Protein backbone atom coordinates (compact mmCIF):
# COMPACT_ATOMS: atom_id res chain seq x y z
CA UNK A 1 0.00 0.00 0.00
CA UNK A 2 1.38 3.37 -0.98
CA UNK A 3 2.06 5.93 1.68
CA UNK A 4 0.23 9.21 1.69
CA UNK A 5 1.76 11.66 -0.74
CA UNK A 6 3.57 14.61 0.82
CA UNK A 7 4.52 17.87 -0.85
CA UNK A 8 8.24 17.24 -0.29
CA UNK A 9 10.42 16.84 -3.35
CA UNK A 10 13.56 15.91 -1.43
CA UNK A 11 11.93 12.90 0.29
CA UNK A 12 11.88 9.58 -1.56
CA UNK A 13 8.25 8.57 -2.10
CA UNK A 14 6.28 5.93 -3.97
CA UNK A 15 5.23 8.50 -6.56
CA UNK A 16 7.08 9.87 -9.59
CA UNK A 17 8.64 13.30 -9.37
CA UNK A 18 6.09 14.80 -11.76
CA UNK A 19 3.14 13.44 -9.80
CA UNK A 20 0.35 15.96 -9.24
CA UNK A 21 -1.82 14.88 -6.36
CA UNK A 22 -5.48 15.98 -6.16
CA UNK A 23 -4.64 17.72 -2.89
CA UNK A 24 -1.79 19.73 -4.42
CA UNK A 25 -3.87 22.88 -4.89
CA UNK A 26 -6.25 22.49 -1.98
CA UNK A 27 -4.69 25.47 -0.16
CA UNK A 28 -4.53 27.68 -3.24
CA UNK A 29 -6.06 31.13 -2.73
CA UNK A 30 -6.76 33.66 -5.43
CA UNK A 31 -6.96 37.43 -5.16
CA UNK A 32 -7.13 37.55 -1.37
CA UNK A 33 -5.44 40.96 -1.29
CA UNK A 34 -7.30 42.52 -4.20
CA UNK A 35 -9.11 45.69 -3.21
CA UNK A 36 -12.24 46.33 -5.28
CA UNK A 37 -12.35 49.81 -6.76
CA UNK A 38 -15.29 52.17 -6.48
CA UNK A 39 -16.34 54.20 -9.51
CA UNK A 40 -16.80 57.51 -7.74
CA UNK A 41 -13.53 57.22 -5.82
CA UNK A 42 -11.66 56.59 -9.08
CA UNK A 43 -13.28 59.62 -10.70
CA UNK A 44 -12.41 61.71 -7.65
CA UNK A 45 -8.77 60.63 -7.68
CA UNK A 46 -8.47 61.38 -11.39
CA UNK A 47 -9.01 65.07 -10.65
CA UNK A 48 -5.34 65.30 -9.64
CA UNK A 49 -4.30 64.28 -13.16
CA UNK A 50 -6.85 66.61 -14.74
CA UNK A 51 -5.53 69.54 -12.72
CA UNK A 52 -1.95 69.04 -13.85
CA UNK A 53 -2.83 68.50 -17.51
CA UNK A 54 -5.02 71.61 -17.39
CA UNK A 55 -2.10 73.57 -15.93
CA UNK A 56 0.09 72.48 -18.84
CA UNK A 57 -2.59 73.51 -21.35
CA UNK A 58 -2.98 76.90 -19.66
CA UNK A 59 0.77 77.49 -19.82
CA UNK A 60 0.94 76.53 -23.51
CA UNK A 61 -1.99 78.77 -24.44
CA UNK A 62 -0.42 81.62 -22.45
CA UNK A 63 2.80 81.16 -24.42
CA UNK A 64 0.86 81.25 -27.68
CA UNK A 65 -0.83 84.47 -26.58
CA UNK A 66 2.55 86.03 -25.70
CA UNK A 67 4.22 84.73 -28.87
CA UNK A 68 1.50 86.10 -31.13
CA UNK A 69 1.46 89.37 -29.13
CA UNK A 70 -2.21 89.01 -28.27
CA UNK A 71 -1.50 89.87 -24.65
CA UNK A 72 1.32 91.63 -22.88
CA UNK A 73 3.78 89.35 -21.07
CA UNK A 74 3.76 91.75 -18.12
CA UNK A 75 0.00 91.32 -17.72
CA UNK A 76 0.34 87.54 -17.76
CA UNK A 77 3.11 87.38 -15.19
CA UNK A 78 1.50 90.15 -13.14
CA UNK A 79 -1.82 88.33 -12.81
CA UNK A 80 -0.06 85.04 -12.08
CA UNK A 81 2.09 86.74 -9.43
CA UNK A 82 -0.99 88.14 -7.70
CA UNK A 83 -2.57 84.68 -7.79
CA UNK A 84 0.64 83.19 -6.40
CA UNK A 85 0.71 85.67 -3.52
CA UNK A 86 -2.92 84.88 -2.74
CA UNK A 87 -2.21 81.15 -2.84
CA UNK A 88 0.81 81.58 -0.59
CA UNK A 89 -1.26 83.57 1.91
CA UNK A 90 -3.88 80.82 1.93
CA UNK A 91 -1.21 78.16 2.36
CA UNK A 92 0.40 80.11 5.21
CA UNK A 93 -2.98 80.55 6.90
CA UNK A 94 -3.60 76.80 6.66
CA UNK A 95 -0.27 76.00 8.30
CA UNK A 96 -1.00 78.57 11.00
CA UNK A 97 -4.32 76.88 11.78
CA UNK A 98 -2.54 73.56 11.96
CA UNK A 99 0.06 74.92 14.38
CA UNK A 100 -2.70 76.43 16.52
CA UNK A 101 -4.42 73.05 16.69
CA UNK A 102 -1.17 71.38 17.70
CA UNK A 103 -0.60 74.05 20.38
CA UNK A 104 -4.08 73.44 21.79
CA UNK A 105 -3.38 69.73 21.89
CA UNK A 106 -0.15 70.42 23.79
CA UNK A 107 -2.00 72.64 26.26
CA UNK A 108 -4.59 69.91 26.81
CA UNK A 109 -1.78 67.46 27.51
CA UNK A 110 -0.22 69.88 30.00
CA UNK A 111 -3.59 70.31 31.71
CA UNK A 112 -4.00 66.55 32.05
CA UNK A 113 -0.51 66.32 33.58
CA UNK A 114 -1.41 69.09 36.01
CA UNK A 115 -3.96 66.84 37.78
CA UNK A 116 -1.24 64.47 38.99
CA UNK A 117 -0.83 65.95 42.54
CA UNK A 118 -4.56 65.58 43.26
CA UNK A 119 -4.50 61.95 42.09
CA UNK A 120 -1.47 61.27 44.29
CA UNK A 121 -3.24 62.72 47.35
CA UNK A 122 -6.27 60.48 46.79
CA UNK A 123 -4.02 57.42 46.39
CA UNK A 124 -2.11 58.29 49.59
CA UNK A 125 -5.34 58.54 51.58
CA UNK A 126 -6.53 55.19 50.25
CA UNK A 127 -3.21 53.52 51.05
CA UNK A 128 -3.09 54.94 54.59
CA UNK A 129 -6.60 53.65 55.26
CA UNK A 130 -5.66 50.19 54.03
CA UNK A 131 -2.52 50.15 56.21
CA UNK A 132 -4.49 51.06 59.35
CA UNK A 133 -7.03 48.33 58.60
CA UNK A 134 -4.25 45.78 58.16
CA UNK A 135 -2.52 46.71 61.45
CA UNK A 136 -5.78 46.52 63.44
CA UNK A 137 -6.38 42.94 62.29
CA UNK A 138 -2.93 41.72 63.45
CA UNK A 139 -4.04 40.35 66.92
CA UNK A 140 -4.00 36.63 66.05
CA UNK A 141 -2.11 34.34 63.73
CA UNK A 142 -4.70 34.52 60.99
CA UNK A 143 -4.80 38.23 61.33
CA UNK A 144 -1.05 38.47 61.11
CA UNK A 145 -1.02 36.27 58.03
CA UNK A 146 -3.68 38.35 56.34
CA UNK A 147 -1.96 41.53 57.44
CA UNK A 148 1.40 40.39 56.05
CA UNK A 149 -0.11 39.47 52.70
CA UNK A 150 -2.08 42.69 52.45
CA UNK A 151 0.98 44.76 53.38
CA UNK A 152 3.05 43.16 50.63
CA UNK A 153 0.30 43.79 48.09
CA UNK A 154 -0.04 47.37 49.25
CA UNK A 155 3.72 47.92 49.06
CA UNK A 156 3.85 46.66 45.48
CA UNK A 157 0.88 48.86 44.60
CA UNK A 158 2.59 51.87 46.18
CA UNK A 159 5.76 51.18 44.21
CA UNK A 160 3.89 50.98 40.94
CA UNK A 161 1.95 54.13 41.79
CA UNK A 162 5.07 56.06 42.75
CA UNK A 163 6.88 54.99 39.58
CA UNK A 164 3.99 55.95 37.31
CA UNK A 165 3.44 59.22 39.17
CA UNK A 166 7.11 60.17 38.96
CA UNK A 167 7.15 59.35 35.23
CA UNK A 168 4.05 61.46 34.57
CA UNK A 169 5.45 64.28 36.70
CA UNK A 170 8.69 64.24 34.73
CA UNK A 171 6.74 64.30 31.46
CA UNK A 172 4.74 67.26 32.74
CA UNK A 173 7.94 69.06 33.73
CA UNK A 174 9.49 68.43 30.33
CA UNK A 175 6.37 69.41 28.37
CA UNK A 176 6.57 72.98 27.03
CA UNK A 177 4.32 75.58 28.54
CA UNK A 178 1.54 77.15 26.50
CA UNK A 179 3.44 80.43 26.23
CA UNK A 180 6.54 78.64 25.02
CA UNK A 181 4.51 76.77 22.40
CA UNK A 182 3.02 80.03 21.10
CA UNK A 183 6.41 81.76 21.01
CA UNK A 184 7.93 78.80 19.19
CA UNK A 185 5.13 78.73 16.61
CA UNK A 186 5.52 82.47 16.00
CA UNK A 187 9.28 82.15 15.59
CA UNK A 188 8.80 79.22 13.23
CA UNK A 189 6.30 81.20 11.20
CA UNK A 190 8.62 84.20 10.95
CA UNK A 191 11.49 81.96 9.86
CA UNK A 192 9.28 80.37 7.21
CA UNK A 193 8.22 83.77 5.89
CA UNK A 194 11.81 84.98 5.74
CA UNK A 195 12.88 81.82 3.92
CA UNK A 196 10.07 82.27 1.39
CA UNK A 197 11.02 85.91 0.82
CA UNK A 198 14.68 85.02 0.30
CA UNK A 199 13.76 82.29 -2.18
CA UNK A 200 11.49 84.67 -4.10
CA UNK A 201 14.20 87.33 -4.35
CA UNK A 202 16.77 84.74 -5.41
CA UNK A 203 14.52 83.45 -8.20
CA UNK A 204 13.68 86.99 -9.31
CA UNK A 205 17.27 88.21 -9.64
CA UNK A 206 18.47 84.92 -11.11
CA UNK A 207 15.92 85.17 -13.90
CA UNK A 208 16.87 88.80 -14.47
CA UNK A 209 20.46 87.74 -15.03
CA UNK A 210 19.68 84.70 -17.18
CA UNK A 211 17.00 86.24 -19.42
CA UNK A 212 19.45 87.81 -21.93
CA UNK A 213 21.28 84.50 -22.23
CA UNK A 214 18.11 82.44 -22.63
CA UNK A 215 16.76 84.75 -25.34
CA UNK A 216 19.46 83.66 -27.80
CA UNK A 217 19.86 80.10 -26.57
CA UNK A 218 18.22 78.39 -29.57
CA UNK A 219 18.81 81.01 -32.24
CA UNK A 220 20.47 78.45 -34.51
CA UNK A 221 17.67 75.88 -34.20
CA UNK A 222 14.63 75.84 -36.45
CA UNK A 223 11.19 76.56 -35.02
CA UNK A 224 9.88 73.11 -35.98
CA UNK A 225 12.57 71.44 -33.91
CA UNK A 226 11.79 73.73 -30.98
CA UNK A 227 8.07 72.87 -31.09
CA UNK A 228 8.89 69.16 -31.22
CA UNK A 229 11.35 69.35 -28.32
CA UNK A 230 8.89 71.34 -26.19
CA UNK A 231 6.09 68.89 -26.96
CA UNK A 232 8.10 65.86 -25.88
CA UNK A 233 9.28 67.64 -22.75
CA UNK A 234 5.71 68.46 -21.76
CA UNK A 235 4.68 64.85 -22.40
CA UNK A 236 7.51 63.71 -20.14
CA UNK A 237 6.34 66.20 -17.53
CA UNK A 238 2.80 64.82 -17.56
CA UNK A 239 3.96 61.20 -17.45
CA UNK A 240 6.61 61.76 -14.78
CA UNK A 241 4.60 63.91 -12.40
CA UNK A 242 4.12 62.55 -8.87
CA UNK A 243 0.33 62.40 -8.64
CA UNK A 244 0.27 60.44 -5.38
CA UNK A 245 2.35 62.69 -3.14
CA UNK A 246 0.81 64.06 0.04
CA UNK A 247 0.57 67.50 1.57
CA UNK A 248 3.77 67.00 3.59
CA UNK A 249 5.89 67.11 0.43
CA UNK A 250 7.07 70.69 0.06
CA UNK A 251 8.51 70.40 -3.45
CA UNK A 252 7.19 68.70 -6.60
CA UNK A 253 8.97 65.78 -8.21
CA UNK A 254 12.32 66.85 -9.62
CA UNK A 255 12.04 65.02 -12.97
CA UNK A 256 8.70 66.49 -13.96
CA UNK A 257 9.71 69.95 -12.76
CA UNK A 258 12.98 69.86 -14.68
CA UNK A 259 11.30 68.77 -17.90
CA UNK A 260 8.67 71.50 -17.61
CA UNK A 261 11.28 74.19 -16.92
CA UNK A 262 13.37 72.89 -19.82
CA UNK A 263 10.35 73.14 -22.11
CA UNK A 264 9.75 76.69 -20.88
CA UNK A 265 13.39 77.58 -21.58
CA UNK A 266 13.11 76.22 -25.12
CA UNK A 267 9.91 78.16 -25.75
CA UNK A 268 11.20 81.34 -24.13
CA UNK A 269 14.20 81.38 -26.46
CA UNK A 270 11.84 82.06 -29.37
CA UNK A 271 10.44 85.27 -27.85
CA UNK A 272 11.58 88.66 -29.18
CA UNK A 273 12.74 90.52 -26.05
CA UNK A 274 14.28 90.00 -22.63
CA UNK A 275 11.05 91.11 -20.96
CA UNK A 276 9.14 88.37 -22.75
CA UNK A 277 11.71 85.76 -21.70
CA UNK A 278 11.73 86.89 -18.08
CA UNK A 279 7.94 86.93 -17.89
CA UNK A 280 7.52 83.47 -19.39
CA UNK A 281 10.22 81.91 -17.19
CA UNK A 282 8.78 83.42 -14.02
CA UNK A 283 5.34 82.24 -15.08
CA UNK A 284 6.69 78.71 -15.65
CA UNK A 285 8.21 78.58 -12.16
CA UNK A 286 4.90 79.65 -10.68
CA UNK A 287 2.92 77.09 -12.66
CA UNK A 288 5.23 74.07 -12.42
CA UNK A 289 7.14 74.78 -9.21
CA UNK A 290 4.72 76.46 -6.81
CA UNK A 291 1.24 75.63 -8.05
CA UNK A 292 1.53 71.83 -7.48
CA UNK A 293 2.26 72.50 -3.79
CA UNK A 294 -0.84 74.67 -3.52
CA UNK A 295 -2.99 72.06 -5.29
CA UNK A 296 -1.94 69.37 -2.82
CA UNK A 297 -2.71 71.71 0.06
CA UNK A 298 -6.19 72.48 -1.27
CA UNK A 299 -6.95 68.78 -1.73
CA UNK A 300 -5.87 68.08 1.84
CA UNK A 301 -7.68 71.07 3.34
CA UNK A 302 -11.07 71.03 1.61
CA UNK A 303 -12.57 68.63 -0.91
CA UNK A 304 -15.18 71.15 -2.26
CA UNK A 305 -12.39 73.66 -2.91
CA UNK A 306 -10.41 70.93 -4.66
CA UNK A 307 -13.35 70.16 -6.95
CA UNK A 308 -13.92 73.87 -7.58
CA UNK A 309 -10.26 74.35 -8.45
CA UNK A 310 -10.43 71.42 -10.87
CA UNK A 311 -13.48 72.87 -12.64
CA UNK A 312 -11.84 76.30 -12.81
CA UNK A 313 -8.66 74.87 -14.34
CA UNK A 314 -10.57 72.82 -16.93
CA UNK A 315 -12.69 75.80 -17.94
CA UNK A 316 -9.63 78.08 -17.96
CA UNK A 317 -7.79 75.70 -20.26
CA UNK A 318 -10.89 75.50 -22.46
CA UNK A 319 -11.17 79.28 -22.69
CA UNK A 320 -7.47 79.52 -23.54
CA UNK A 321 -7.80 76.94 -26.30
CA UNK A 322 -10.94 78.58 -27.64
CA UNK A 323 -9.36 82.03 -27.70
CA UNK A 324 -5.99 81.11 -29.15
CA UNK A 325 -6.63 77.96 -31.22
CA UNK A 326 -10.36 77.65 -31.85
CA UNK A 327 -13.56 76.92 -29.97
CA UNK A 328 -13.79 73.54 -31.59
CA UNK A 329 -10.61 72.57 -29.75
CA UNK A 330 -12.10 73.93 -26.52
CA UNK A 331 -15.20 71.77 -26.87
CA UNK A 332 -13.05 68.78 -27.73
CA UNK A 333 -10.91 69.46 -24.63
CA UNK A 334 -13.87 69.54 -22.25
CA UNK A 335 -15.42 66.43 -23.78
CA UNK A 336 -12.11 64.57 -23.65
CA UNK A 337 -11.67 65.43 -19.96
CA UNK A 338 -15.14 64.23 -19.02
CA UNK A 339 -14.86 61.13 -21.21
CA UNK A 340 -11.42 60.34 -19.87
CA UNK A 341 -12.45 60.62 -16.23
CA UNK A 342 -15.57 58.49 -16.64
CA UNK A 343 -14.24 56.07 -19.26
CA UNK A 344 -10.93 55.36 -17.54
CA UNK A 345 -12.72 54.74 -14.24
CA UNK A 346 -15.02 52.16 -15.85
CA UNK A 347 -12.09 50.65 -17.72
CA UNK A 348 -10.11 50.27 -14.51
CA UNK A 349 -13.05 48.53 -12.83
CA UNK A 350 -13.54 46.24 -15.84
CA UNK A 351 -9.86 45.25 -15.85
CA UNK A 352 -10.16 43.85 -12.33
CA UNK A 353 -11.72 40.66 -13.67
CA UNK A 354 -8.35 39.79 -15.22
CA UNK A 355 -6.62 40.05 -11.87
CA UNK A 356 -5.15 36.64 -10.98
CA UNK A 357 -3.01 36.79 -7.87
CA UNK A 358 -2.34 33.38 -6.30
CA UNK A 359 -1.29 32.58 -2.75
CA UNK A 360 -0.39 29.28 -1.14
CA UNK A 361 1.44 27.70 1.76
CA UNK A 362 4.57 26.96 -0.28
CA UNK A 363 7.71 28.94 0.38
CA UNK A 364 9.90 30.46 -2.33
CA UNK A 365 13.23 28.82 -2.88
CA UNK A 366 16.06 30.55 -1.07
CA UNK A 367 19.67 30.02 -2.17
CA UNK A 368 22.14 28.98 0.50
CA UNK A 369 25.22 31.17 0.26
CA UNK A 370 28.27 29.64 1.87
CA UNK A 371 31.46 31.52 2.54
CA UNK A 372 34.87 30.10 1.73
CA UNK A 373 35.83 29.69 5.37
CA UNK A 374 32.78 27.61 6.25
On whether both 124 and 270 belong to a single domain, the answer is no
190 occurs within a structural domain: yes
Mean pLDDT score, 150-160: 43
On whether both 185 and 82 belong to a single domain, the answer is yes
Which of these ranges, 144-148, 216-220, 238-242, has the smallest mean pLDDT?
144-148
Number of separate domains in the chain: 2
Mean pLDDT score, 340-363: 83
Whole-model pTM: value is 0.69
Last residue of one domain, picked from the residues 148, 174, 200: 174
On whether both 262 and 120 belong to a single domain, the answer is no
Phi, psi for residue 358 in degrees, rounded to 5: -105, 145
372 occurs within a structural domain: no
Span between the terminal Cα atoms of the chain, in Å: 43
Residue-range definition of the domain harbouring residue 165: 115-174
Last residue of one domain, picked from the residues 141, 157, 174: 174
157 occurs within a structural domain: yes
pLDDT at 27: 74
On whether both 70 and 58 belong to a single domain, the answer is yes
- pLDDT tens string 24-82: 777 777 777 778 888 999 999 999 999 999 999 999 999 999 999 899 999 999 999 99
Last residue of one domain, picked from the residues 174, 189, 213: 174
33 occurs within a structural domain: no
For residue 250, is pLDDT > 70? no
Q: Please state, in angstroms and as integers, the Cα–Cα distance from residue 299 to each residue in 89, 229, 232, 252, 295, following that order.
A: 16, 32, 29, 15, 6
On whether both 232 and 292 belong to a single domain, the answer is yes
309 occurs within a structural domain: yes
109 occurs within a structural domain: no
pLDDT at 167: 43
Mean pLDDT score, 137-152: 39
For residue 152, is pLDDT > 50? no
On whether both 250 and 149 belong to a single domain, the answer is no
On whether both 138 and 161 belong to a single domain, the answer is yes
For residue 348, is pLDDT > 80? yes
Residue 33 or residue 117, greater confidence: 33
pLDDT at 192: 74
On whether both 239 and 323 belong to a single domain, the answer is yes
- pLDDT tens string 119-128: 554 455 555 5
On whether both 309 and 248 belong to a single domain, the answer is yes
27 occurs within a structural domain: no
Cross-strand bridge partners of residue 358: 30
On whether both 196 and 309 belong to a single domain, the answer is yes
On whether both 328 and 344 belong to a single domain, the answer is yes
Q: How confident is the model at residue 246 (pLDDT cuts 50, 70, 90)?
A: low
316 occurs within a structural domain: yes
On whether both 51 and 125 belong to a single domain, the answer is no
Contacts within 8 Å (CB) and 24+ apart, 110-117: 110/172, 110/175, 110/177, 110/178, 113/168, 113/169, 113/171, 113/172, 113/175, 114/172, 116/165, 116/168, 116/169, 116/172
Amino acid sequence: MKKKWAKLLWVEQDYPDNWVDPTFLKDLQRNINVRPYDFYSLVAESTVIVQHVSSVVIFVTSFIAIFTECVSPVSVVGSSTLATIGGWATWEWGWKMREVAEAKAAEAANASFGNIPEQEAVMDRDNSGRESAGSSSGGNGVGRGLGLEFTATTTAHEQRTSVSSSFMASEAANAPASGQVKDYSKALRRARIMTTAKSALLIYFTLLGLSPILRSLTSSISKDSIWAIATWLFIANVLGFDYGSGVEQKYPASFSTNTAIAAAVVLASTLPSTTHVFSLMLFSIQVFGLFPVFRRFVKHASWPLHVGLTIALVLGAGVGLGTMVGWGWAIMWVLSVVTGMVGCAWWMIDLQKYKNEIHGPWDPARPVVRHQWE
